[in-house]
A and B are shown apart, each in its own frame.
Chain A
Amino acid sequence: MLGVLVLGALVVGVVVYVAWPLVRPASAADRLDPLSEAQRRRLALREERDLALAALKELEVDHATHHIGDQDYAELVAEYRGRAAEAMRTLDDEVRAAE
């Protein structure tokens, strides 16, 4: 009998708890819409920017610890700076266009 009562209380409690969000307004913190094309583009640009910035930081470490020579360092730094700048520029353009 005790088992039936405990189980019954569990069933009622769990059902109420699980159903509760269905009768309340949805939380604004949840996002369900897939990314739009513009959002996807901007996400890709942010990843590109961060990849280039991280690569620059890593290059600096590799250069300081003598894993990479001066010439390679200069070439790669110029390339990654260019990529980061290009990503940031395009990102700014995208944001301005959307505004």
Chain B
Amino acid sequence: MALIGQGSLILALLLAVYAVGAALFAASGRDRRFLASARHALWGILLLVGVADTVFLHAIFTHDFSFRVVASSTSLTLPTGYLFTAWWGSQAGSLLLWATILAAFTLIAVRGTRRALGELQPWLIAILGTIAAFFLLLLVVPANPFITQVAAADGVGLNPSLQNPYMAIHPPALYLGYVGLAIPFALAMAAMLANRGDARWVVASRRWTLVAWGFLGIGMLLGSHWAYTEVGWGGFWAWDPVENAALMPWLVATAFLHSVMVQERKGMLKVWNITLVAGAFALSIFGTFLTRSGILSSIHAFVASDIGWYFIVALAVIIGGPFALILWRLPILRADQRIESLASREATFLFNNLLLVGIAFAVLWGVLFPLLSDAIGSVRQTVSSPFYDFFVVAFGIPLLLLMGIGPLIAWRRASLRQIRRSFLWPALGGLVVGSVMIVGGLHSSWPGVAAGSVCAFTTVTIVSEFVRGAAARRRIHGERWGIALLRLIGRNRRRYGGYIVHLGVIVFVIGAIGSSAYQTSAEGLLLKGQSLTVGSNVLTFEGVERVRGANYTERAAVLRVTSDGENLGVLRPGRRAYVREQTTSNEVAIRTTLTGGDLFVILDGIRSDGAVQIKAFYKPVVALLWLAGFIFVGGVLLAVWPDEREARRILRRYTEEPLPGES
């Protein structure tokens, strides 16, 4: 079987190289047969990578420990559900997943742009084929999933923290995001290579960016929930480099999704948009490099790593290539218009871009600094939460404010009178909430009050956008409120989908501030019958319970929860010992209240006399974080949903039949 898997990957690599060559030959020799052949090669790559996936999964599910990767990431006792997640539990497996998604996305992108972006096709295939060849080369040489050994009796098992249902969807969601960003990158590069300065590539890449960005966002939220429920330290975001690896391309892609509107409407920011698309993809490769090269554990691990230098070369090409292309095509990338006024929607988008890229740079520096200090000096310096928190507060609050200001200001310019009129209610909303926070004693910090006020300002703005739009439809078309609102959203999906995403961001911010700034905690060593109070909840220790799972044994503290004398049930925080993996993990116990707060309990240890060390938190409104995820997904789906009328309009613009004598 290993021969089939390995042979398929080698053949896929050869096909990727052929696809690149055939596409370039088609572009230079104007031979359409080679273009068709290159497209067939893409199908071949997908088929062969699919065969490799099948062989790999077959080896995992049949416990074929003659495959080194299977032996190092699974075991006989690993539950069947987690055998599937073992696909991306290893370096080789995760790179195979990368290659699979890329092969599928490449075909969809190439087929989807054949009609409207005909002359870009060879370049698109050449660029995506090169990226595919890079990942296939990694799989054939340094990260081969089909290396065999003398079969062991059992494998060493999967990292216990990965044995969580979230691991079935969190990594694939992130990979869909990382890989998805390759398509806008390839479209932008193809447009420049084909000497196309028009907005067609922008229109084609908008939806791809939105999809990739949506997956990255979902992936990060799922990762946060996994960290919250599985890692067991009581938080949802630790500014870990692996988390930052996904956040950076997401931030840059967010900037692109805003600035792309300026290019579509005003013909401005062409160079900037190409830079953002290239930056987002470079950061997605950088993220993969961070998580897969071993550089996070130490610079020495990176030097010893098999794949680190491949990624360094790839990053140099991904950063240097677009830079050279932009310089080459500068004459066709000049802006058609200029920003007329700072009080205009395009100006707010520009400020929003600067802030988003600013946060991305701060996070990048926070990730790079320890690596550089490790490489230059002998001691690795660390960058901790206060560094990131400072930039998130300093740049994030103005960003939230711009989310509210943008919709209130018209394109091109806004008069002072109009600004006064538009800002009145949102500003009042912000003032009222800020005052209530101060008077009500909820001002844990001034940035917290500012964030609360700005959230209120922006919420009022967004709600009023829906109300004003529906009211206008009622006035013009005489529709009822419900119909007017539905048609307003249905006919402007991108705009109102964006507003819904903004609402999701606000809900997330409120959840993040509320659950961290207003949390209460308690810690104590409890003997049987003793209690610990956290907030209004009393936890009474009733004893230790033993549970045996498929591949672990767990000892859990049984804690009765009461509040004002009312019995609220039992919580069982535990510690699991994984036999095969020879590690332990914390299993936190969480009780979500009707008001969206969580009683979060960690078992820190069990003494020989039966006493348990308990740490408990009450985190108000933490459920808003996860609610924000649903709102975010709803907004993204609405924005990305195909709009037939717009698609027809765009197709007509870019595919008008050639005139006589021109074909």
A residues near B (Cβ < 8 Å) are 3-4, 6-7, 10-11, 14, 17-22, 24, 26-27, 29-36, 38-39, 42-44, 46-47, 50-51, 54-55, 58-59, 61-62, 64-69, 71-72, 76, 95, 98-99
| A-B pairs with beta carbons under 8 Å apart, 27 shown | A3-B4, A7-B4, A10-B4, A10-B8, A14-B11, A17-B40, A18-B37, A18-B41, A19-B37, A20-B37, A29-B114, A29-B115, A32-B26, A32-B32, A32-B35, A34-B195, A38-B662, A50-B653, A51-B266, A51-B267, A59-B411, A67-B407, A67-B418, A68-B414, A69-B415, A95-B659, A99-B659
User: In the complex, are the beta carbons of B41 and A33 less than 8 A apart?
Assistant: no
B306 at the interface (CB under 8 A from A): no
Complex interface: chain B residues within 8 A of A6 (CB): 4
B47 to A: closest C-beta gap in Å:
7
Query: What does DSSP make chain B's interface, helix, strand, loop or mixed?
Result: helix
Residue on A nearest B36 in the bound complex, by CB: A21
Complex interface: chain A residues within 8 A of B472 (CB): 61, 64-65
B296 at the interface (CB under 8 A from A): no
User: In the complex, are the beta carbons of B265 and A51 less than 8 A apart?
Assistant: yes
- Determine the distance from Cα of A31 to Cα of B115 in the docked complex, in whole angstroms: 9
Other than the given A22-B37, A30-B114, A31-B119, 15 more pairs (CB < 8 A) read: A4-B3, A10-B7, A10-B8, A17-B40, A18-B15, A29-B115, A30-B36, A31-B118, A32-B26, A32-B35, A32-B118, A33-B119, A39-B658, A66-B421, A99-B659
- Determine the distance from Cα of A5 to Cα of B36 in the docked complex, in whole angstroms: 28
A11 to B: closest C-beta gap in Å:
6
- Determine the distance from Cα of A38 to Cα of B302 in the docked complex, in whole angstroms: 54
- Determine the distance from Cα of A43 to Cα of B652 in the docked complex, in whole angstroms: 11
Residue on A nearest B419 in the bound complex, by CB: A67
| Other-chain residue from A14, A39, A68, A95 in contact with B410 (beta carbon distance below 8 A) | A68
Q: Which of B131-155 contact A (CB under 8 A)?
A: none
What are the 3 A-B residue pairs with the smallest beta carbon separation, nearest first? Answer: A31-B118, A21-B36, A26-B32
Given the interface contacts A3-B4, A55-B411, does A10 sit within 8 Å of B51 by beta carbon? yes
B17 to A: closest C-beta gap in Å:
12
B225 at the interface (CB under 8 A from A): no
- Determine the distance from Cα of A39 to Cα of B267 in the docked complex, in whole angstroms: 19
User: In the complex, are the beta carbons of B36 and A36 less than 8 A apart?
Assistant: no
A59 to B: closest C-beta gap in Å:
8
| Other-chain residue from B40, B118, B415 in contact with A72 (beta carbon distance below 8 A) | B415
- Determine the distance from Cα of A71 to Cα of B411 in the docked complex, in whole angstroms: 15
* Contact flags B573-592 to A (C-beta < 8 A → 1, else 0): 00000000000000000000
User: In the complex, are the beta carbons of B33 and A24 less than 8 A apart?
Assistant: yes
B residues near A (Cβ < 8 Å) are 1-4, 7-8, 11, 15, 18, 26-27, 30-37, 39-41, 43-44, 47-48, 51, 114-115, 118-119, 121-122, 194-196, 198-199, 264-267, 407-415, 417-418, 421-422, 465, 468-469, 471-472, 475-476, 492, 649, 653-654, 656, 658-662
B300 to A: closest C-beta gap in Å:
38
User: In the complex, are the beta carbons of A43 and B44 less than 8 A apart?
Assistant: no
Complex interface: chain A residues within 8 A of B47 (CB): 10, 14
User: In the complex, are the beta carbons of B40 and A10 less than 8 A apart?
Assistant: no
A28 to B: closest C-beta gap in Å:
8
| Other-chain residue from B7, B51, B195, B468 in contact with A66 (beta carbon distance below 8 A) | B468
A57 to B: closest C-beta gap in Å:
10
| Other-chain residue from B36, B412, B649 in contact with A50 (beta carbon distance below 8 A) | B649
User: In the complex, are the beta carbons of A38 and B44 less than 8 A apart?
Assistant: no
User: In the complex, are the beta carbons of B33 and A21 less than 8 A apart?
Assistant: yes
| Other-chain residue from A20, A44, A65, A66 in contact with B40 (beta carbon distance below 8 A) | A20
User: In the complex, are the beta carbons of B660 and A98 less than 8 A apart?
Assistant: yes
A17 to B: closest C-beta gap in Å:
5
Complex interface: chain B residues within 8 A of A95 (CB): 659
- Determine the distance from Cα of A58 to Cα of B41 in the docked complex, in whole angstroms: 44
Residue on A nearest B472 in the bound complex, by CB: A64
- Determine the distance from Cα of A36 to Cα of B659 in the docked complex, in whole angstroms: 11
Output the residue of B43, B264, B408, B662 with the most chain A CB within 10 A: B662
- Determine the distance from Cα of A29 to Cα of B464 in the docked complex, in whole angstroms: 47
Given the interface contacts A38-B659, A39-B662, A43-B654, does A7 sit within 8 Å of B3 by beta carbon? yes
User: In the complex, are the beta carbons of B661 and A98 less than 8 A apart?
Assistant: yes
User: In the complex, are the beta carbons of A65 and B662 less than 8 A apart?
Assistant: no
User: In the complex, are the beta carbons of B44 and A17 less than 8 A apart?
Assistant: yes
Complex interface: chain B residues within 8 A of A29 (CB): 114-115, 118
Complex interface: chain A residues within 8 A of B48 (CB): 10, 14
Residue on A nearest B266 in the bound complex, by CB: A51
